[in-house]
C-alpha cells in the first residue's frame, strides 16, 4: 500500500504510471476521503484526519455477535484474579485465539 498526497494532479499521475509499469495494475483512489487497512483518511484544507471508528465498531459488533453484549457495568476493568495464573486453565482453541488476536487492539483504546 502506498499513499501519496500532493496538490498537483500531474505529479500523482506520473507516480501512478511509474508504479503501474513496475508492479502491474493497481487500484488508484483519488479525492478527499479514502479507506485503507481499516483506517478512514480525510484530507481537508491541508489537514489529514485519521479514524478507525468503523473498524472498531465492526470488532465490537463481531464480538457481541459471537459472545453477547458488552454492556456490563464494572467499577474497574480488572478484579482480584487479574494477576493470578491458573496453571490448570484450558488453552484457547484456534477459533478463540483468532478472536482474541482481533480484539486485542481494543485494549489500547
Q: Please indicate, yes or no, whether the overall pTM of this predicted structure exceeds 0.85.
A: no
Pairing of strands 39-44, 47-51: antiparallel
Residues 70-87 pLDDT 10s: 666 666 666 667 778 888
**For residue 78, with 0-12 CB atoms within 10 Å meaning exposed, 13-18 middle and 19 or more buried, which class applies?**
exposed
Most confident of 2-11, 29-38, 75-84: 29-38
Q: Give the domain ranges of the chain.
A: 9-51, 53-73+80-108
Amino acid at each position: 500500500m502506498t499513499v501519496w498526497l500532493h496538490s498537483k494532479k500531474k505529479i500523482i499521475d506520473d507516480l501512478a504510471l511509474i508504479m503501474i509499469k513496475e508492479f502491474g495494475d493497481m487500484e488508484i483512489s483519488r479525492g478527499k476521503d479514502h479507506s485503507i487497512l481499516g483506517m478512514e483518511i480525510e484530507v481537508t484544507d491541508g489537514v489529514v484526519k485519521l479514524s478507525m471508528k468503523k473498524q472498531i465498531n465492526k470488532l465490537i459488533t463481531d464480538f457481541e455477535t459471537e459472545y453477547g453484549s458488552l454492556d456490563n457495568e464494572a467499577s474497574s476493568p480488572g478484579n482480584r484474579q487479574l494477576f493470578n495464573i491458573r496453571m490448570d486453565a484450558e488453552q484457547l482453541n484456534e477459533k478463540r485465539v483468532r478472536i482474541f488476536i482481533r480484539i486485542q487492539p481494543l485494549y489500547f483504546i
